[in-house]
């Protein structure tokens, strides 16, 4: 039993782009478990774009990540010691322990998962928060009809990949936006999207237009900026835009929307959401997604960094699109 | 019986701002009525911001106004001759005859109205299309709860004045945005809004902040641009924005939305709509609005230009906010 816990704290807020200097690795002794507590060895740490928002001290849906505390984050791991009747050593669990090797909890917010048919890490991806996010935005906001076209930004990512595949299962045309030929090839060939536009190729609007010959009925927005401007210009009447992420604005420089009047002229619905405010849909969403993963009908890809000390670098890389699929840190 | 009909045609499309040169007054002989037809002497011509959009030849919710045809528009008048069993001379009717003194129709789209308790012109304002527009956006999109704050741009106008008064009746705080001290005084003192911000005073955001101490829950947007940017920055979580007009962008220069990421961080609903696509609500809306007008519980104000030949000038003035209340042209 290790007696030291390695943790990464947020020690300063970004001025513009985030950097590794905003984080600090510390070692903290592990206190003995109290009655009712459970200790988890984290195997995987989830890195997600929303964390960048939490690093800022600005008005948002969630309180900022406090300074000098363990950086927030979802985790998947194994119970190593338990003084809580609901858990026993060996249980696989998903929680929100953040960027650290061990988590100690009274059991609240800790969920046992079955990794027989679904790999443990998938509970941080397609069968976890990113999957539920994609499921909610697609089914509850966009609600595509067969034959409609759905555009998804960050299409090879943890959320986007789920959105496009579910759109296809619903009979819609799925068009991704991703950065680079390799990601676009994956989105079409492995994930089964009908088309994917490489925003790095320099012809975003023209390429999107070619990929959406009948216009766009649904947009699942993870990024904002140029991709959203281009998609908005392709929206059909009564289109729906689910706003799930706005990476383009995270560094503090506001990214305007160029033609907001299209919201009126095309009578669009634009709905921002965060999945933790819709906990009611998680059971149905995760059951459906878990079944699809177990049946290998829902594909996903992981970018895995190794070792807690590499989490900051992996996180910053993800914000720049250097990951390819769900970004994880493997801790053990 | 006059044998000549005076009409105003759209003869060219605006390059930038619209001008009187885009219109032309013509005289056309009136053909004898055919069986089934009805002839109306228009008393009032309605001038509305949407008409500016129709002057452009761009993708929008409605086909552009064709060149060299009578300019589109709502009208209220009196039947002067009828070969249609459903109408008789003396009937008061509302229709879409456009910018001309006489209208001839087979009766389709022509609605008989009762001007005993509600003045004829009100059927082009609070008990007509502008009223239904305000009713729909407020009740079906914003749906304010008692104690919430609703911001309305163009607050002294035909639509905005209805929105704010209905918001007050629903127990909400109503805050207007209007141009000039006189309009703002009217909005507060006559219409009963809780506050009104004069966008011409030069402190739009600060003044709006002061007028919305608990933030903004609903926004009824008629204008776009700076007012919308300021309101967006004041939106509370789960706020609703009904996008009804975008005057700021009508002249072809796109007016960006400065901080669209707030749609995500505040989980906003933004919904564009046009009232002619929601005909199902008109009967209930107009009945409620007609009752309120007859009971003098719903106030409205009209800007009346006289004579068809003055319609273009009055229309252009309205686009610049020179009207004060619903802009009409009185033809007789």
Question: Measured between beta carbons, which residues in chain A are less than 8 angstroms from residue B256?
Answer: 256-260
Give the gap in angstroms from C-alpha B236 to the nearest C-alpha of chain A.
10
Whether the pLDDT of residue A217 is over 60: the answer is yes
Tell me whether residue B218 is exposed, middle or buried, using C-beta atoms within 10 angstroms of its C-beta: 0 to 12, 13 to 18, 19 or more. buried
Rounded to whole angstroms, the Cα distance separating B249 from B264 reads 24
**Mean pLDDT along residues A249-262:** 85
Q: CB B213: neighbour CB atoms within 10 A?
A: 10
Q: What is the nearest CA distance from A245 to chain B, expressed in angstroms? A: 7
Please check whether residue A244 touches B, CB under 8 A.
yes
Q: Return the SS3 of B28.
A: strand
As a whole number of angstroms, the distance between CA B317 and CA B17 comes to 12
B260 and A259 within 8 Å at the Cβ level: the answer is: no
Nearest CB neighbour to B270, from listed A254, A259, A263? A263
Within an 8 Å CB–CB cutoff, is residue B227 touching chain A? no
Tell whether B319 is within 8 A of chain A (Cβ). no
Residue B4 backbone dihedrals phi, psi, to 5 degrees: -120, 135
Q: Was domain A4-125+300-330 assigned CATH 3.20.20.450?
A: no
CA B198 to each of CA A179, A192, B172, B209: distance values in angstroms, whole numbers, following the listed order? 45, 54, 21, 13
Chain B: residue nearest A54 by CA? B265
Mutate to test the interface with A, among B224, B264, B266 (most CBs of A within 10 A): B264
Q: Does A245 touch chain B (CB under 8 A)?
A: yes
For strand B149-153 and strand B173-178, is the pairing parallel, antiparallel, or unpaired? parallel
Asked if A227 is an interface residue toward chain B (Cβ–Cβ < 8 A), one would say: no
- Which residues fall within 8 angstroms of residue A210, CB to CB, at 6 or more apart? none
- Chain B residues with CB under 8 Å of A236 CB are none
Subunit contact B272:A264, Cβ cutoff 8 A: yes
A268 contacts chain B (CB < 8 A): yes
A129-276 topology per CATH: Rossmann fold (3.40.50)
With an 8 Å Cβ cutoff, are B268 and A264 in contact?
no
Summarize pLDDT for A159-195 with one digit per residue, the tens.
999 999 999 999 999 999 999 999 999 999 999 999 9
Q: Which residues between 45 and 104 in chain B have a beta carbon less than 8 angstroms from any beta carbon of chain A?
A: 53, 59-61
The tokens for B258 are 């400065």
Chain B environment of A264 (Cβ under 8 Å): 243-246, 272-274
Chain B residues within an 8 Å CB radius of A229: none
pLDDT along chain B (332 residues), means of 10: 86 94 97 97 95 86 90 97 97 98 96 96 97 98 98 95 98 97 97 98 97 98 95 98 85 86 95 96 97 97 97 95 92 94
Mean pLDDT taken over chain A: 95
Q: Does A263 touch chain B (CB under 8 A)?
A: yes
Q: Is A275 on the interface with B (CB under 8 A)?
A: no
Two tokens, residue A148: 């409609």
Which letter does DSSP use for residue A138 in this model? I
* Span A9-63, pLDDT tens digits: 999 999 989 999 999 999 999 999 999 999 999 999 999 988 998 999 876 667 8
Query: In this predicted model, what pLDDT tens digit does every residue of A103-137 receive, in sequence order?
Result: 999 999 899 999 999 999 999 999 999 999 999 99
How do the domains of chain B map onto residue ranges? 4-125+300-330, 129-276
Q: How far is CA A59 from CA B235, B268, B324, in A?
A: 11, 14, 38
Quote the minimal CA–CA distance from B271 to chain A in Å: 5
Helix H or strand E segment including B7: strand B4-10
A228, A254, A268 member nearest B259 (Cβ): A254
What stretches of chain A adopt beta strand conformation (E)? 4-10, 23-29, 38-46, 69-70, 75-82, 92-95, 102-105, 111-112, 149-153, 173-178, 195-198, 216-221, 235-243, 269-272, 302-306, 326-330
CB pairs under 8 A between A and B: 107
pLDDT band at A248 (very low <50, low <70, confident <90, very high): confident
Q: Which pLDDT value is given to residue B24?
A: 98
Of A59, A260, A265, the CB nearest to B60: A265
Q: Going edge to edge, which strands form the sheet with A149-153?
A: A195-198, A173-178, A149-153, A216-221, A235-243, A269-272, B269-272, B235-243, B216-221, B149-153, B173-178, B195-198
CB-based contact, B233 to chain A, within 8 Å? no
* Token representation of residue A141: 């906001």
Of A246, A260, A277, the CB nearest to B264: A246
């Amino acid at each position: 039993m290790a007696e030291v816990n390695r943790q990464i704290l947020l020690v300063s807020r970004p001025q513009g782009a985030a950097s590794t200097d905003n984080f600090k690795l510390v070692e903290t002794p592990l206190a003995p478990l109290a009655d009712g507590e459970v200790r988890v060895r984290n195997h995987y740490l989830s890195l997600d774009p929303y964390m960048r928002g939490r690093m800022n001290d600005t008005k948002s849906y969630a309180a900022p990540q406090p300074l000098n505390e363990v950086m927030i984050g979802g985790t998947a791991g194994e119970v190593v010691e338990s003084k809580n009747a609901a858990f026993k050593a060996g249980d696989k669990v998903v929680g929100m322990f953040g960027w650290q090797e061990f988590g100690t909890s009274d059991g609240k917010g800790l969920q046992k998962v079955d990794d027989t048919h679904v790999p443990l890490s998938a509970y941080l991806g397609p069968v976890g928060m990113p999957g539920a996010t994609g499921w909610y935005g697609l089914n509850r906001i966009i609600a595509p009809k067969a034959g409609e076209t759905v555009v998804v930004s960050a299409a090879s990512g943890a959320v986007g990949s789920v959105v496009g595949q579910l759109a296809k299962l619903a009979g819609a045309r799925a068009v991704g936006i991703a950065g680079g030929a390799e990601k676009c090839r994956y989105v079409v060939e492995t994930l089964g999207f009908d088309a994917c536009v490489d925003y790095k190729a320099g012809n975003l609007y023209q390429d999107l237009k070619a990929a959406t010959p009948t216009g766009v009925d649904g947009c699942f927005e993870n990024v904002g900026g140029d991709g959203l401007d281009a998609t908005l210009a392709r929206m059909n009447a009564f289109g729906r835009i689910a706003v799930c992420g706005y990476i383009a604005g995270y560094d503090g420089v506001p990214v305007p929307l160029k033609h907001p009047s299209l919201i009126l002229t095309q009578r669009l619905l634009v709905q921002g959401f965060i999945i933790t405010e819709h906990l009611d849909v998680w059971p149905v969403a995760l059951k459906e997604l878990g079944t699809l993963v177990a049946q290998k009908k829902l594909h996903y890809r992981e970018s895995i960094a190794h070792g807690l000390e590499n989490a900051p670098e992996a996180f910053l890389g993800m914000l720049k699109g250097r990951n390819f699929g769900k970004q994880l840190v493997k801790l053990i």
